[in-house]
Amino acid sequence: MDIDVTPLLERIESRLDRLGVPELEVLRTADLPPDLLDQLRAGKKVVPRGQRLMRLADALGTSVAYLVGLDPDAEAPAELLAEDQGNLGLLAGDEEALLLGYRRLDVSSRAALLLVVQKMAGPPADEKKRRT
Spell out the domain ranges in the chain: 5-83, 90-131
**CA distances from residue 114 to 31, 97, 99, 109, 118 in whole angstroms, order as listed:** 34, 15, 12, 8, 6
What distance in Å separates the CA atoms of residue 46 and residue 21, rounded to the nearest whole number?
23
For residue range 101-114, what is the model confidence (pLDDT) as tens digits?
888 888 888 888 88
pLDDT confidence band for 86 (50 / 70 / 90) = very low
What distance in Å separates the CA atoms of residue 44 and residue 63, rounded to the nearest whole number?
24
The predicted pLDDT at position 75 comes to 65
Q: Which of 14-28, 73-87, 113-127 has the lowest mean pLDDT?
A: 73-87
Q: Which CATH class is domain 5-83?
A: mainly alpha
For residue range 15-72, what is the model confidence (pLDDT) as tens digits?
999 999 999 999 999 999 999 999 888 888 777 888 888 899 999 998 888 888 776 6
The predicted pLDDT at position 56 comes to 93
What distance in Å separates the CA atoms of residue 100 and residue 115, rounded to the nearest whole number?
18
Average pLDDT, the chain: 79
Q: Is the pLDDT of residue 89 over 60?
A: no
User: pTM here?
Assistant: 0.55
What distance in Å separates the CA atoms of residue 125 and residue 38, rounded to the nearest whole number?
51
